[in-house]
Amino acid sequence: MSKKIDISKFEKKMIIRNIEEKDFDAIIEMQKLCFPNMEPWESEHLRSHIQIFPEGQFCVEFDGEIIGSCSSLIINFDEYDDQHTWDEITANGYITNHDYEGYNLYGIEVMVHPDYRRMKIGHRLYEARKDLARELNLKSIIIGGRIPNYYKHAKEMTPRRYVEEVTMHNIYDPVLTFQVMNGFTLKRINPNYLDDDRASLRYATLMEWNNIDYRPTVPKRQFKTSFPVRITTIQYAMKKISSFEDFAVQCEYYTDVAASYHSDFAVFPEIFTLQLLSFLPEKSPSLAIRRLTEFTEDYIELFTSLAVKYNVNIIGGSHFVEEEGKIYNIAYLFRRDGTIEKQYKLHITPNERKFWGISGGDQVNVFDTDCGKIAIQICYDIEFPELARIAVDKGANIIFTPFCTDDRQGYLRVRYCSQARAIENQVYTVLSGTVGNLTDVENMDIQYAQSGIFSPSDFTFARDGIVGECQANIETVVVGDVDLEILRRNRRAGSVNQLKDRRHDIYQINYKQ
């Protein structure tokens, strides 16, 4: 009697799924094989893709190996010039311009491992995109397709003639022929689409697949003339108190002020919780900080309740927190829906290291809020331009900087750098600092601050790039509106465009996280 055959040993499973971080290395190596003369993805590009639009990033896994992948984003194509470039339509590969309210899925990359071609891997990826377009009720899929065999015919025919010949199946092109066979139709031909696509002589075909199941019901996007976000930044007085309850009363007062002006954000300064040391007997700075960390849960509970009670997102300044034996300077975002995020200070000043033994964090975070994406960069961190650039590439529209400086020189370093970051990155920046004196707290003798809200420098913004600012060194607040719609337009069509005009061919920021 013959033995029953174990068919499981013959199985080789093919899975189409969304890309995960564990796939990055395999995708980058595959891309080097597929496009040997073109710049491959950086890990930070792929990380941005799955953070911003994870459902639009697909890969094919066969017997445990990644053999194909594709990337995409949603846009409202009417907002873009037909003659766009790949860099413009993808925000330089980071897809930070992804718009969930858009009408079109835009495909920015498809690749299949050379060893697995003619297994309809590309077709499967295209079908996954079509299924996604149907699921999200998108009008169409648009792609800027390469024509990699054009260089063989460039001497005898124009790009238009070449495309016509391929469309009529008189010439084979591995990309354009495939797209035509998958139901895409030609819209136009774009020159200078992708700088390193030498085989296509930088031409690309703008192709579209129309979703016949699209249901034009209520408009997906209500076009706005403005998207105002109101910010109250608090210039907080460091004065002696006798209990945590005194501290809570002062914090609630300012949160109430912000809410009374219908603010979307209330911003407190860096390490303003050191005010709690004014009623603790410990005089040694390093030991006092350990005592301060004992208030962490009370601090978090206080600001979580204030954010919900007053319906305002709170940048809770920063607070020293002990984690696994180390002290970190952490800024918290308390959303008005009760959720919490945190950003560790990355760069530690000599003073913080000497007196308090503070350790630095290791991640640049960008947080989703009901007013768009924001970042928090604590005091010294705003003086390092790489951090702001990374945050903006991840989608940040506002960078909040809680700070604490003791003299005018220190303050001006923070202020000038904050305004520079606003200009360099076409982003709003916000400062919130401490004033007053804590005579009984070691290493917190004097304070200098002039808190403010800053914008890029262009016609559509405040004349001096200052939305609003406090008087120096007094306990007060400043309230100002920033407009995210104006910011979006400025990034697309400002007098200058620092984000678009970066020279990725000669420099880049390598974010290692």
Q: What is the pLDDT of residues 367-385, one digit of tens each?
A: 999 999 999 999 999 999 9
Write out pLDDT tens, residues 480-501: 999 999 998 898 788 998 988 8
Write out pLDDT tens, residues 312-339: 999 999 999 999 999 999 999 999 999 9
The predicted structure's pLDDT at residue 7: 56
Give me the residue label for tokens 């120096």. Answer: 472
The predicted structure's pLDDT at residue 209: 95
C-alpha–C-alpha distance, residues 421 and 391, integer Å: 11
Has residue 457 got a pLDDT over 70? yes
The predicted structure's pLDDT at residue 85: 86
Q: How many residues does the chain have?
A: 513
Half-sphere exposure of 447 toward its Cβ, with a 13 Å CA cutoff? 31
- Structure tokens that stand for 218 in this block: 């209520």
The reply to whether 379 belongs to the active site is: yes
Give me the residue label for tokens 């893709």. Answer: 49
Q: What is the DSSP string of 63-123?
A: TTEEEEEEEEEEE-GGGS-TT--HHHHHTTTT-TT--TT-SEEEEEEEEE-GGGTTSSHHH
Helix residue ranges, H only, 274-407: 285-292, 296-309, 350-351, 385-393
The predicted structure's pLDDT at residue 131: 94
Q: Which of 130, 345, 373, 394 is catalytic?
A: 345
Has residue 444 got a pLDDT over 90? no
157: DSSP letter: S
- SS3 of residue 299 by DSSP: helix
Has residue 505 got a pLDDT over 60? yes
Q: Which of 379, 404, 417, 470 is catalytic?
A: 379
Angle formed by the axes of helices 385-393 and 43-52, nearest 10°: 50
Q: Among candidates 313, 318, 366, which has minimal Cα distance to 345?
A: 318
Q: Among candidates 261, 231, 255, which has minimal Cα distance to 480?
A: 231
Task: Supply the pTM of this predicted model.
Answer: 0.66
- Domains present along the chain, CATH in parentheses: 12-210 (3.40.630.30), 229-493 (3.60.110.10)
145 — pLDDT class (breaks 50, 70, 90): confident
Q: Which of 44, 270, 352, 469 is catalytic?
A: 270
Instruction: Give the count of beta carbons closer than 10 Å to the beta carbon of residue 185.
Output: 11
The reply to whether 297 belongs to the active site is: no
Write out pLDDT tens, residues 246-304: 999 999 999 999 999 999 999 999 999 999 999 988 778 888 899 999 999 999 999 99
220 — pLDDT class (breaks 50, 70, 90): low
The predicted structure's pLDDT at residue 371: 93
The predicted structure's pLDDT at residue 509: 83
The reply to whether 469 belongs to the active site is: no
Pairing mode, if any, of strands 398-403 and 14-18?
unpaired
The predicted structure's pLDDT at residue 3: 61
The predicted structure's pLDDT at residue 502: 84
